[in-house]
Amino acid sequence: MSTSSIPLLHGIPALGLGTYPLMDQQCTDTVRMAVDLGYRHIDTAQMYGNEKAVGKGIAGCGVARDALFITTKVDPSNCNAAQFSDSVKQSMDDLGGPADLLLIHWPPADDQIDDMLDLLKAEQLRGMARRVGVSNFTPRMLRRAAQRIAGLACNQVEFHPLIDQGVLKATADELGLPLVAYSPIARGKALQHPAVTEIAARLSRPPSEIVLRWIVQQGVVAIPMTSKRENAASNLRIFEFTLADADMSAISAIGTAAGRTISPGWMAGRWND
């Protein structure tokens, strides 16, 4: 697949490679494999502990850095005035240069959100990232962030057929910014749902392609993780077909508020905010 076959959503490649929980040489090799296949969007984070391995993969991938789109995220432990800037500099050193997108990985306490958004914007202004955004922000938090930072790039969140993210998606659409879907196949659970497997069998496509197509067809960026070349190549084939409206609706009907698979303790009670 040529890279021109991967569309941009709000300037972000619609399909990228997630790198959690890849580490060390496996991470470096997977990044190079993905770029060789045609991926240009690579997602990492301070929390993953693999930024240096991603940086090595970028450096040895054979594609110019300005042709890639690299995302990283500031760890909650670094979301304070004393550590924020130094942590971002370390990330950029490990990645081999400024990021294309820098995110706050998890929302800080409500009384600290504005200060952290200001620190995030400051990193953009000093050239550490071309764009800045947030991750795991609720609708109310997202409105607050978009008001604080003009041109906010995205909100990276858990997004797959098993979870109903309709309110958050509507909020992002209203604000004119995209969602980026992490855990897009719900750690494999979404691939087993009868609605997905029926469509996959009828279209002679793997369930993973059906789920990822459902995501990007809504204007949401997907960043699945796989270290297997055949799976990474399969994921790229989601741009070869379109799901019918009835199939889109059938998959959308799966989601519930209880479908979340990733919910750390500090977010308890905040998801419906």
Could you read off the pLDDT of 6-37 as tens digits, one per residue?
A: 999 999 999 999 999 999 999 999 999 999 99
271 found inside a domain = no
At 169, the amino acid letter reads K
Give Cα 154 to chain centroid, integer Å: 9
Report DSSP state, residue 122.
H
At 208, the amino acid letter reads S
270 found inside a domain = no
Per-residue confidence (pLDDT) for residue 268, from 0 to 100: 87
| In the predicted structure, residue 208 carries a pLDDT above the cut 50 | yes
Listed residue (240, 243, 262, 239) closest to 252, CA to CA: 243
267 found inside a domain = no
268 found inside a domain = no
Q: Indicate which residue of 20, 39, 48, 182 is catalytic.
A: 48
User: CATH number of the domain that 186 lies in?
Assistant: 3.20.20.100
Question: Could you count the other beta carbons within 10 Å of the beta carbon of residue 149?
Answer: 17
Q: CA 122, CA 29: separation in Å to the nearest integer?
A: 33
The answer to whether residue 182 is catalytic is no
Q: CA 27, CA 270: separation in Å to the nearest integer?
A: 32
2 found inside a domain = no
Instruction: Output 222 or 1, whichever has higher pLDDT.
Output: 222
57 found inside a domain = yes
| In the predicted structure, residue 132 carries a pLDDT above the cut 70 | yes
- Is the preceding peptide bond at 7 cis, omega within 30 degrees of 0? no
What does the pLDDT look like over 152-169, one tens digit per residue? Answer: 999 999 999 999 999 999
* Token duo for residue 10: 């709000």
4 found inside a domain = no
pTM: 0.97
The string over 110-129, giving b where at least 16 C-beta atoms fall within 10 Å of a residue's C-beta and e elsewhere, is eeebeebbebbbebbeeebb
Provide the domain count of the chain. Answer: 1
Q: Which residue stretches of 129-225 are H helix?
A: 139-148, 166-175, 194-203, 207-216
